[in-house]
Every structure is written in structure tokens, then in C-alpha cells.
Copies of this chain bind each other. A is one copy, B any other.
Amino acid sequence: MKFSKVPEATIRRLSTYARYLETLEQKGETVVSSAQLAHECGVNAAQVRKDLAYFGEFGIRGVGYYIKDLYDDIRSILGLSREWRLAIIGIGNLGASLLMFKDFLKANYKIVAAFDRNPTEVLGKVSEKFGKPVEILKPDRLQEVAKERRVDIALITTPAAEAQSVADQVMTANIKGILNFTPAQIKVPPGVVVKNVYFTTILDNLVYLLQSKKKQ
């Protein structure tokens, strides 16, 4: 099976299914129908079946899905059965709020390092927000620290003008995944994956859909 042929929207929905299955499991449920899974995740049952069909056969006709099994299978498909180690580069307001984002840890994402050009300047503010001291490192330590702490993914929250040079350092440090919160278009060689999360672009998209609904 060619992994890359699976639509991005399917992967996004698999994450959503996994999160819902997790809540069901925590409630002590054992079985869920595709109709219920679909309803709770805002899609239809055919979509659920189609999404899962990319990866094999799941569930039992007339019964539904065993929650724990499907949850484990989806986590394994998504690569979430292991811990992924994150570094945040650029500790402004957004970087600091990501540092404090509790859901990452629940989901096997662990922030293992934070970098800022002016570590001393932000240190006090961030530590105060946290209620405990936080270590902010200078970016020139990226390579050494990335290796030592086995960083898998870099979250770039610097100003846009610095994003490419930061990304270049990230790649030199042998980090293969980048989550880019800046509007810069980061250029990477094959083998490195970038996802862009620029809030303004997402709002642009929402606005486009809003105005096109009005015109219909």
C-alpha cells in the first residue's frame, strides 16, 4: 500500500476518531457502531468505513467496532503508539502558550526543549506563567540539544523573516518534521515534512466559505 495516497482529510478524521474512541474507552464502553462513531465525529457512517478501508478490515458486521482494538489500530496507523519529542523555537506569546498546551502530553507529544534568541528576556515571563522555572535555550545550542534529547519535530514560532534560517538549522540538527506557525513558505528537501498552521490563512479560508455561502 502506498501510504502517501491516503487523503489528508482521512488522516485528519482518523485523529478525530481516535480521540472519540479514547473518551469512550475511558467511560468503560467496549463497542461502538460506525453510525455512532460517525455521528459524534460529524461525518456519515459510509465515510468512517471508507476512511478505515484504506488500512484494512475493521469491525464486525452487525456489531460495530471493538473500541480498544480500533483505538490501538488507529494509533498504530497514525504512528502514535510511540512518544514524539518536540522542540519549540521562538518563545513569544504563541510559543509560550504552546509550551503550556496540556493536550500535547495527553497525546504522546512531549515538549523536550524551548529556544529563543533572547532566552533571559523571556525566561522570567514564561516561568512566571508556568508557576515554575522553565529552561529557555539559545538557538545556537539547537544541534547539540536536539541530538541529546532526541527531538523529532520542531515547532517554529519565530517572526516570519527568521523562519527559513531557523528551519535550515532544524534540518542540520537532523529533525525531519516542522510545524510552521509563521506565514513564511519554508523550503525543505524531500524527506522533511512541513505542516503550516498560520492562523490568518485559516481565517482567510473561513471568510471565503462564509462569503461564498452568502452568494449561493
Q: Which residues of B contact A202 (CB under 8 A)?
A: 179, 195, 197
Given that A93-B129, A216-B4 are contacting pairs, would A195 and B204 also be in contact in the complex, using a CB cutoff of 8 Å?
A: no
CA distance A195 to B210 in the complex (A): 11
How distant is A194 from chain B, measured CB to nearest CB, in Å?
8
Q: Which 10 A-B pairs have CB atoms at the shortest separation, nearest pair first? A: A3-B212, A79-B211, A93-B97, A97-B97, A15-B204, A42-B185, A15-B201, A193-B209, A195-B206, A93-B100
Interface residues of A in 1-38 (CB under 8 A from B): 3-4, 8, 11-12, 14-16, 18-20
- What are 16 A-B contacts defined by CB distance under 8 Å? A12-B201, A16-B183, A40-B185, A41-B185, A93-B96, A93-B101, A103-B183, A103-B198, A107-B203, A109-B200, A177-B209, A177-B210, A179-B199, A179-B202, A195-B203, A195-B206
Does A191 reach chain B (CB closer than 8 Å)? yes
Are A204 and B80 CB-contacts (below 8 A) given A3-B212, A3-B215, A187-B42? yes
Chain B residues positioned under 8 Å from A18 (CB to CB): 204
Contact status A15-B205, CB under 8 Å: yes
Measured in the bound complex, the distance between the Cα atoms of B194 and A206 in whole Å is: 7
Tell whether, in the assembled complex, residue A109 and residue B203 are in contact, meaning their CB atoms are under 8 Å apart: yes
The reply to whether the CB of A66 lies closer than 8 angstroms to some CB of chain B is no
> Can you list, as one digit per residue, whether each of A165-204 has a CB less than 8 Å from chain B (1) or not (0)?
0000000000011010001011100010101011111111
- Judge whether A137 is part of the interface by a CB distance below 8 angstroms: no
Is A116 an interface residue when CB atoms closer than 8 A count as contact?
no
**Contact assessment for A191 and B213 in the assembled complex, using a CB-CB cutoff below 8 Å:** yes
